[in-house]
Structure 1
């Protein structure tokens, strides 16, 4: 069961979490990014119950992360496609996979999924880069700073930052 909405909170992270909804939705988005698009494919891949899958698909569609397209009539059947917003979340999914690989959550067999450059075939990873120069920045060299949309609560959180 999902918690109450984060609507109205001045936090980009909370806004994305609200749009995604929960961990099942992340797995659905993962599968859509891998090319699965039909209800039964998503159910087989995740092992999710019918009720939960239907609820999460509806939630993701309402938050414009996916689009439902009819591919058959009589009976009507639909497939689910990532929207631009949905593809934006794939970056988060890739980051989660990268952390999971670092933690070796799949065990000694190694990462169950790799992301590679389509052109070179070489592995890619999520990294922080300087917005202007494109240079990679180490996490320990990053610090949070109030943005133009910061409210008093954001400024209070930042006042507690010590790293």
Structure 2
């Protein structure tokens, strides 16, 4: 995990990595998107140690990505579901998956497809301008300072 002090950084990516930056965490989110809900399902899918899974699930619940609800009382058993905040991760997770498909796919091809449930069409994670509706290429992307950036980190160096 990153140091939470950020050494003067004001960066949403660094803050996001505090929640999602550890490899097991993003794989838990992936499995939740695939419909897994229970501790044993996550553990079986990932082959992860129980203590590590317990810690990662706790972090995701505290961050509001997953919600924990009891489905059995004796003994108490819980399931984990994506919250609205967690569901917002679909776009970046699918974007990461598509990047991996393009650059790291194995010889047997894509392990998963992304399709629109209603019509069966292929899905693409893209940047779309909210003003004009255009799909924006990486060469047309700007990242100017926002109101939360206290100082230009490049100029400060």
Structure 1, unmatched stretches of 5+, are none
Instruction: Specify the SS of the correspondent of 1:156.
Output: coil
Instruction: Specify the SS of the correspondent of 1:68.
Output: strand
CA distance in 1, matches of 2:23, 2:9: 21
Q: After superposition, where does 1:13-92 map in structure 2 within 5 Å?
A: 13-92=13-92
**Greater than 3 Å deviation, 4+ residue runs:** 6-9
C-alpha contact (below 8 Å) 1:29/1:90 kept by paired residues: no
Q: Which moved more, 1:19-28 or 1:73-82?
A: 19-28
CA distance in 2, matches of 1:131, 1:6: 33
C-alpha contact (below 8 Å) 1:6/1:14 kept by paired residues: no
C-alpha contact (below 8 Å) 2:2/2:17 kept by paired residues: no
C-alpha contact (below 8 Å) 1:72/1:78 kept by paired residues: yes
CA distance in 2, matches of 1:29, 1:12: 19
- 1:28 Cα shift? 0.1
C-alpha contact (below 8 Å) 1:6/1:15 kept by paired residues: no
Deviations 1:136-160 (A, max 9, x none): 11111112111111121xx133x59
What is the total number of aligned residue pairs between the two structures? 155
CA distance in 1, matches of 2:148, 2:82: 28
Q: After superposition, where does 1:91-106 map in structure 2 within 5 Å?
A: 91-103=91-103, 105-106=104-105
TM-score of the pair, normalised by structure 1: 0.88
Structure 2, unmatched stretches of 5+, are none
Q: Which residue of 2 aligns with 1:156?
A: 153
- 1:74 Cα shift? 0.6
Q: After superposition, where does 1:99-138 map in structure 2 within 5 Å?
A: 99-103=99-103, 105-138=104-137
